[in-house]
Amino acid sequence: MAEISEVTARLLDYVSYDTQSEDDRESVPSTKKQFELAHKLVGELKELGASQVRMSEQGYVYACIPSNLEEGKTSPALGFIAHMDTAPSFSGKDVKPQFIRDYDGQDICLNREQDIWMRTADFPVLKEYEGKTLITTDGTTLLGADDKAGIAEIMTMAAYFLRHPEVKHGTICIGFTPDEEVGRGADGFDVEGFGADVAYTVDGGALGELEYENFNAASGRVTVHGANIHPGTAKGRMRNALLMAMEFQSLLPADENPMYTEGYEGFYHLDRMTGCVEETRMDYIIRDHDRVKFEHKKELFAQAAGFLNRKYGSGTVEAVVKDSYYNMKEKIEPHMDLIDKARASMEKLGIRPIVVPIRGGTDGARLSYMGLPCPNLCTGGHNFHGKYEFIPVQSMEKITELLIEISRSFAETITEDAAGPCLSDAPAL
């Protein structure tokens, strides 16, 4: 195999760890296997020479690269955050990454035995990477670049600064979280102990993406209670929970479905449906960038349940909606220097900034409401959460340069204030 870059080697190592999180678990992390990668990262950070490396009981990993500015000078403490878990929706076990070197711009066979192809007709963005080196799946798992590419890029940046003490920078705080994919990545995050004044999540898509708007998000769970009876004698007595569940879905706007929406358009997404005639359960995610429209969507969801309860009897349909996170835009707008610095750093490196709304969410959305302004940077990956996930090597390498450049740009924001601690005084593990 040809020599590979440090960030690529790190990604290949990290995706070998199965860190898939699980819904409907009260514990954090939701899966104990996430601890394996957390312990590895703790060891690597210590070996690199990072300061105050620690892991919480819930698997959050923290570290610090102290400022090397002149005595008496300091700049805002800057954080970089990525998540360790992969999505519950597709297997992340036994990932077998494949290299497509000098990609020719044509359809890619991911798995010849199972005849699984990634076709340019379905994914025209592939054409933009002709001549690049792509890392893909073998068609049987996701890749895990969401967000292990972010981890690899942050770790490679950290290694650069720790190996090059002559390069000036302010305090850099590093955080890796569990359970982001199930909406709980910020639940146990120690904002005060983390020590950053501002931060970026490194959890986005294509090279150049810069995001400070995300969906307002809620989960919706619908439980439909039916009454089963032998179909031969069912007239007037059977209540088919499956059919009533389908009726509930039909009451939601047909065009507010992920497959019909883009940009700032919100949606209802039926993510899972299980059950039988006696009882059926449906799990939804509800999304909208606009807070007023978001609240309206939740109201309509409740109204659909109310209509069916009036039609079929009280208690037939239970609809429970739980807010997950909110649009970070209102928390980032007072700190637009974060966006300006990231944009300027991209332009300096020849990266075209693509400021877009996130059609999803990140830990940064929650953290912004917890007092840590935290927009989102790209990782370089595409087609997350499924077998068509891929990432160009050159994008990862460029994003590593971007993290270094952003950190250097913050060092230019020098004040005379005394620096505070990067992390809490808790003993390092």
- Residue numbers in the known binding site are 83, 146, 181, 203, 385
Rounded to whole angstroms, what are the CA distances from 199 to 2, 78, 90, 269, 424? 35, 5, 29, 30, 17
Return d(Cα 418, Cα 420) in angstroms, integer. Answer: 7
First to last CA, the chain: 36
- Which residues sit in the known binding site for Zn(2+)? 83, 146, 181, 203, 385
Return d(Cα 39, Cα 416) in angstroms, integer. Answer: 37
Catalytic status, residue 36 = no
Return d(Cα 224, Cα 218) in angstroms, integer. Answer: 20
Q: Which of 18, 44, 147, 180 is catalytic?
A: 180
Hey, what long-range contacts does 337-344 have (CB within 8 A, 24 or more apart)? 338/198, 338/200, 338/212, 338/373, 338/375, 339/210, 339/212, 339/375, 341/406, 341/409, 341/410, 342/200, 342/210, 342/375, 342/377, 342/402, 342/406, 343/210, 344/409
Nearest to 16, CA basis, from 161, 144, 128, 196: 144
- Report whether 92 contacts 143 (CB < 8 A): no
DSSP 290: S
Catalytic status, residue 122 = no
Q: Which of 85, 213, 256, 401 is catalytic?
A: 85
> Residue by residue, what is the 3-state secondary structure of 333-354?
HHHCHHHHHHHHHHHHCCCCCE
Give the helix ranges, DSSP H, for 84-144: none
**SS3 of 252, please?**
coil
Token pair for residue 327? 């649009």
Which residues are marked as active site?
Answer: 85, 180
